[in-house]
Amino acid sequence: MSVVERLGENRVGKKQQTVGVLNLQQMGGQVSIPDGVHVVVVGGGFGGIAAAQQLKSQGIDFTLIDMRDAFHHNVAALRASLQPGFVQRTFIPYAETFGHSFVQGRVEQVDTHRQLVILQGGKEIYYSHLILCTGSDGPFPGRFNIEASYETAIQAYQDLITQFQAADSVLVVGGGATGVEMAAEIKTEYPDKKVVLIHSRIALADTELLPSVRQQAKQVLLEKGVELLLGQKVCNLSELQLNVTQKNTVVKTDKGETLTTDLIICCTGLKINSAAYASSLSDSMADSGALKVSNHLQVEGFSNIYAVGDCADIKEPKLAYYASLHAAVAVTNIINSLSGKGLTSYSTGYVSMLLAMGRDDGVGQFNGFRLPRWLVAFGKSRDLLLWKSWKEMQQKQP
């Protein structure tokens, strides 16, 4: 696979971890599954749709549950909040792909004794095997984890586009990967608006990135005209209204600086979505709320419950690409356990990471080597890998 093809996979790619995928592919066709097997997948993010798609292709009875009616390609969510007409490409309806195997609802409880997931409203669904893919949450627009219809979700992003249009200046709070991408997207869409990025540390973006890549991210932002306030925090954030244009809002920093801005976008804070199993699986939870897993991705203490994606406590960055790799391992291990075969292991490896800096630029590294900006822009930033999810969901992109 060429570097460009690998770039087409994600913000992150790495060279190992193909064991689970290969096992599934090597099986070829469908496997013979005993009666009574019913796999429940909770959460239809990147991990959940990968797991559901693999169960479907193997002919295994399953139910996919999500609180929304459409998969959210949140990797492209920032652009959807800026570019008119883009948001429709970032939500992909589940029912068209999974039919009656998809159930919309919020899982409120997991009863591990009776092997049931219990939805808001009391509906109970039996599982022989459970794959938990409840992911993580963060502020809008990077995330949209609320019970909402496709139409409501689309409207929320369209409303934010209007707020951006009305603002002359924007403050982006948080200079991790999401904040860096957000600031670059805004300046690319609106070169004449004043954009300030405030970050509590001096270096931008993820700590897993090479220092030279982090430096390059800073350089791209400066070239685009983003103003940087580094080593400072907003100290009155809780008093400020986010995502709504209010001319000349006063913002104070912990270093005593005061600035005015029209619109504030928050890009900080990642929280694991573990409410659905907070009581029943509390003994298997790390302090972060993520589920402790074995190298077979089984939740500690259970052989028929797997955790996949951001909600699995694995020492690696929280990324969509990893979520789909975890899903392949979990589905392979369900099949292997049913057929008496040995289980596949998941292991972490080299981190590669790509940041889209607007549709025309990008920075990143691949297997420890810094990549040219044009290559990241070509492989990731142009389309933000939307094509991949539409293909996986076997639907035509609008």
Note the residues at the interface with ligand FAD (CB under 6 A): 10-12, 42-48, 65-68, 72, 74-75, 77-78, 106-107, 133-136, 138, 142-143, 145, 178, 273, 275-276, 309-310, 318-321, 323
367 within 8 A of 391, measured Cβ to Cβ: no
Cβ contacts of 36 within 8 Å, gap of 6 or more: 128
Instruction: Name the β-bridge partners of 19.
Output: none
> Closest separation between CB of residue 337 and ligand FAD, Å?
22
CB nearer to ligand FAD: give 104 or 215: 104
**CB 135 → ligand FAD: shortest distance, Å?**
2
Distances (CA, A) of 96 to 72, 93, 99, 102: 15, 6, 6, 9
Write down the least CB distance from residue 212 to ligand FAD, Å: 20
Between CA 293 and CA 131 the distance in angstroms is 12
Decide whether 68 or 218 has the Cβ nearer to ligand FAD: 68
Nearer Cβ to ligand FAD, position 147 or 254?
147
Min dist. Cβ of residue 165 to ligand FAD (A): 21
Those residues whose C-beta lies under 8 Å from the C-beta of residue 385, and which sit 6 or more positions away, are 8, 9, 10, 73, 75, 76
Q: Which is nearer to ligand FAD, 33 or 296 (CB)?
A: 296
**8 A C-beta contact, residue 357 and residue 224:** yes
Kindly state the smallest distance separating residue 329's Cβ from ligand FAD, in Å: 13
* Largest CA-CA distance found in the chain, in angstroms, rounded: 67
Residue closer to ligand FAD, measured from CB, 6 or 11: 11
Provide the strand spans (E) within 227-330. 227-230, 249-252, 258-261, 263-266, 271-272, 305-307
**Cβ-based nearer residue to ligand FAD, 10 or 169:** 10
Nearer to ligand FAD, 236 or 349 (CB): 349
Could you tell me the smallest distance in angstroms from the CB atom of residue 45 to ligand FAD?
A: 2
The nearest distance, CB 91 to ligand FAD, in angstroms, is: 11
Distance from chain centroid for Cα 390 = 16
Q: Burial of 239 by CB count in 10 Å (0-12 exposed, 13-18 middle, 19+ buried)?
A: exposed
Q: How far is the CB of 74 from ligand FAD (least distance, A)?
A: 5
Which has the closest alpha carbon to 321: 2, 16, 4, 1? 16
Closer residue to ligand FAD (CB): 240 or 323: 323
Distances (CA, A) of 396 to 157, 184, 392: 21, 29, 10
The answer to whether 163 touches 244, Cβ cutoff 8 Å, is: yes
Radius of gyration of the chain (CA): 21
User: d(Cα 385, Cα 398) in Å, to the nearest integer?
Assistant: 14
Q: What minimum distance in Å lies between the beta carbon of 47 and ligand FAD?
A: 3
Which one, 33 or 384, has the nearer CB to ligand FAD? 384
Q: In angstroms, what is the minimal distance from the CB of 250 to ligand FAD?
A: 27
- Round to whole Å and give the CA distance between 78 and 72: 12
- How far, in Å, are 206, 299, 330 from residue 198 at the CA level? 15, 38, 39
Cβ distance to ligand FAD smaller for residue 108 or 168: 108
